A and B are shown apart, each in its own frame.
Chain A
């Protein structure tokens, strides 16, 4: 599997992401600078976490208008597998590739802690390696992860099986105490209609080795590799 990481100024989790991609696929990802206008020929496009442009406007808003993004959007719309994590998820919503928006956390504070996620569907190229309903532990680290969309959009996401991850407790129960940011319906990650673009706030790339306290996040990368290499 060939992958590319899109790098905007202020992105800061690119090395964490590169490590996860290399461990899963055996190949180091290409790093594509935001001033480029064309992506290399890859199977997976990744927008990692960080503070693109300092998050000085709405998170992800400036990055979404970077030169490289025209090609990212075109390739994603043409079906290339695309993953946005944290700031990357915010960028994807700002481009319109994913519906909804990420608002300031409900308690207005940055939060870094391990959370539990329930895998709501295994029928995606990002989650094929998990069990349906499996609870995984991965960290969050964000100030603006409060997912919001209107009721119709939410109903459509749920109806289409596009809510991929939901915040829950260790036993798999969703509810306000397990939700770190106030996201509507405890949504942590969603898919686009075509099923090739995933955005999520938590950082699976930081839970891939026992040294990090958990390897639960590695399943996403292994799932993508399995889906793309057998495709």
Chain B
């Protein structure tokens, strides 16, 4: 029996985010009242963020296997084989709650955490991306959040030295009280040199590496597992502070140490810090862990066991070393001026024992801490289907040209240059396709292989129909990889939703996972890692369901990748895929008509696969000069983006027929690609498409200073460019941080 110096009251239990029945589970498990430190440990291990207690049952339905998969979900990052003895390790993670409270530090530590996940496995990070969702541009907090998050992502990635090569940004009032900051990182690793978290061998030293432990971030994971009330600002002390300089040193020191044979197991200290990392290392290896906190390097004086176990101070690692190798490890870490301390050992009894000043502060069953966390089959209701919309009921715009200008200068479709120019997207010298295209393309080492990366989800589709929206998010990531010529390999996901305790929100989660599973299976695009962020709601209003998908694809020769820019005048412009003029939930409907209704465009996965495989083959065979998929805003936005990127216009003589002009041009039908090719080869391409059942038509010809749709006013590229490039800089210029 361990004496309790702090009385465990129902209020204290509630403050730790544990429900009465969950606390009863604790009592049943250990057969006594927990100590204060133990209560903190349970709170850290059993919160939603760490235990996945509401999503676990459904996550199991996702396909996670494939011949290319080396490591699926459950480790720090997923790992996929890319041949030549190399693999790509990647993962995406949310840092939503902290970024709303303190945008700069919330975003930096999100980036730092995901980079650490990747290099903990032994991979050197080669690319970072981010998916951001902000509230209404007119909301008084939005500018402050945009400025802070973008500066934070840049501040960390630029200093650490990883190129930030892409991502996505949306604005919607439903994110007013809860922004989303989802950070993705990928690294290259040798397949014969992958490091895991599972400890092995009794009596081996457990070593603490990296920065010192402070009082920052205590209860960060618990905070991220609850909805906000009106008091979000008061939670600022739960946000950690990032130090990219220390992380860069930690990266170099870890990779240097991994070249020796000293490391048995390694785990970074992320959410729930020392608690989570130590328990995971022990539990995965079927071993107990004993820690003596007196040896933990501390930044502040008189830290208690409770504080040390729950601190989320950044840039820290835990390792199990091979006995006798301590001196080698210590020398490397001292070279990099990092802390190195032996703070415990692996033990045979499957217990988690924590000592401070000679006293046992916690003595818990280590396997049960993770395994016996509550799992909930929460009640859910499916989202009611939205009533269909007939294009004939939607007014035609007075001018196609003016409408295009409005869309291209709207918050969701305007250029993101203001953002990505604050990110070093070129460091390491391997960035082949920069931000602004369908997917970023990064050379692997000295080539010729390349990797393509994209982040995608259309939350307004998920809101209308979670199953179709989940399918569409996966299909769009697959399509974006295809559009640069990459073979899609696997995905990571970041599932952002409101409170799972509400059946309609749980229904969104279930629906999106169902759709994702269907698409990942049909496209042979397994999920290898991911993260769930629930309770993204404030005072009862939830965010749009946002299951962000991070797609990774492989190119055998990165120099043959396709890009969106029109390359030459006089080339034929072709459309592959069927246009039905689907305006439900379109950007046109929202931005021009002020309506957000109707069902999202349906996704036919067999059609997706057929069209995508056909386009990828054309790219591999060098038969197309530019490729862009049709997404938000429809066909005309696709053409406008291709024209702006290539700085040359186009004459569009034919648009998909039998449809009102707005349905043909702004409809968001799926599985479509626009390509260009030399004019003399166009007929052959159209014939080849027909042979494999891909609907195809010639739209027109590249060239000139305007984008001209036959029968409509010409659209001058320079005017279009100033609309497109102007919105974010103008918006942010109207504001001075106080």
Contact = CB atoms under 8 A, between A and B. Distances in A.
B159 A16 contact: no
A211 B559 contact: yes
Given A51-B159, A53-B245, A54-B159, A110 B422 contact: yes
A12 B429 contact: no
Contacts of B335: 33, 35
Nearest to A17: B429
B447 A211 contact: yes
Contacts of B559: 210-211
Interface in A204-231: 205-206, 208-213
A12 B426 CA distance: 12
A85 to B, nearest CB: 12
B244 interface: yes
Contact of A205 (B160, B246, B429, B443): B429
Contacts of A54: 159, 243-246
Given A16-B427, A111-B422, A141-B426, A51 B158 contact: yes
B429 A206 contact: yes
Nearest to A33: B335
Central interface residue in A109, A203, A213, by most chain B CB within 10 Å: A109
Interface string B414-426: 0000001111111
B422 A141 contact: no
Interface in B160-208: 160-161
Given A109-B422, A112-B421, A141-B426, A9 B431 contact: no
Given A10-B248, A54-B243, A112-B421, A206 B159 contact: no
B159 A113 contact: no
B422 A51 contact: no
Nearest to B160: A12
A16 B430 CA distance: 9
Given A9-B245, A9-B336, A211-B447, A110 B429 contact: no
Given A51-B159, A112-B421, A113-B421, A10 B245 contact: yes
Nearest to B435: A112
Most A Cβ at <10 Å: residue of B154, B425, B429: B429
Contacts of B151: 109-110
B396 interface: no
B328 interface: no
A116 B520 CA distance: 44
Given A51-B159, A110-B154, A211-B432, A9 B337 contact: yes
Interface string A183-218: 000000000000000000001011011111100000
B245 to A, nearest CB: 3
A112 B429 contact: no
A104 interface: no
A112 B159 contact: no
Contacts of A9: 245, 248-249, 336-337
B156 to A, nearest CB: 11
A19 interface: yes
Contacts of B430: 211
Contacts of B428: 15-16
A110 to B, nearest CB: 5
Nearest to B448: A211
A212 B447 CA distance: 12
A159 B424 CA distance: 35
A30 interface: no
A56 B245 contact: yes
A55 interface: yes
A68 to B, nearest CB: 14
A88 interface: no
B673 interface: no
B244 A13 contact: no
A181 B477 CA distance: 36
Interface residues of B, number: 34
A51 B245 contact: yes
Interface string A100-123: 000000000111110000000000
A141 B158 contact: yes
A141 B245 contact: no
B119 interface: no
Contacts of B249: 9-10
B42 interface: no
A99 interface: no
A206 B163 CA distance: 12
B52 interface: no
B248 A112 contact: no
A16 B429 contact: yes
Interface in B237-259: 243-246, 248-249
Given A9-B336, A51-B244, A211-B432, A141 B427 contact: yes
B423 A112 contact: yes
Contact of B429 (A55, A143, A212): A212
Interface string A16-30: 100100000000000
Interface in A141-157: 141, 143
A19 B429 contact: yes
Contacts of B243: 54
Contacts of A55: 159
Interface in B427-442: 427-432, 434
A33 B420 CA distance: 32
B427 A110 contact: no
A53 B245 CA distance: 7
A182 interface: no
Nearest to B158: A110
A203 B426 contact: yes
Interface string B14-26: 0000000000000
Contacts of B427: 12-13, 16, 141, 206
B373 to A, nearest CB: 38
A112 B425 contact: yes
Contacts of B158: 51, 110, 112, 141, 143
Nearest to A18: B429
A99 B421 CA distance: 29
Contacts of B155: 110
Interface in A61-79: none
Contacts of A53: 245
Nearest to A211: B432
A177 to B, nearest CB: 13
A50 interface: yes
A32 B159 CA distance: 21
Contacts of B666: none
Given A9-B249, A211-B432, A212-B431, A112 B426 contact: yes
Contacts of B352: none
Contacts of A109: 151, 422
Contacts of A141: 158, 424, 426-427
Nearest to A10: B245
A56 B430 CA distance: 28
Closest 5 CB pairs of A and B: A12-B161, A54-B245, A51-B159, A16-B429, A141-B424
Given A9-B245, A213-B434, 9 more contacts: A9-B336, A9-B337, A13-B161, A19-B429, A51-B159, A53-B245, A112-B421, A112-B422, A212-B432
25 contacts: A9-B245, A9-B249, A9-B337, A10-B245, A10-B248, A16-B428, A16-B429, A33-B335, A51-B244, A54-B159, A109-B151, A110-B151, A110-B154, A110-B155, A110-B422, A110-B423, A139-B426, A143-B158, A203-B426, A206-B426, A206-B429, A210-B559, A211-B432, A211-B447, A212-B426
Interface of A: 9-10, 12-13, 15-16, 19, 33, 35, 50-51, 53-56, 109-113, 139, 141, 143, 203, 205-206, 208-213
Interface of B: 151, 154-155, 158-161, 243-246, 248-249, 335-337, 420-432, 434, 443, 447, 558-559
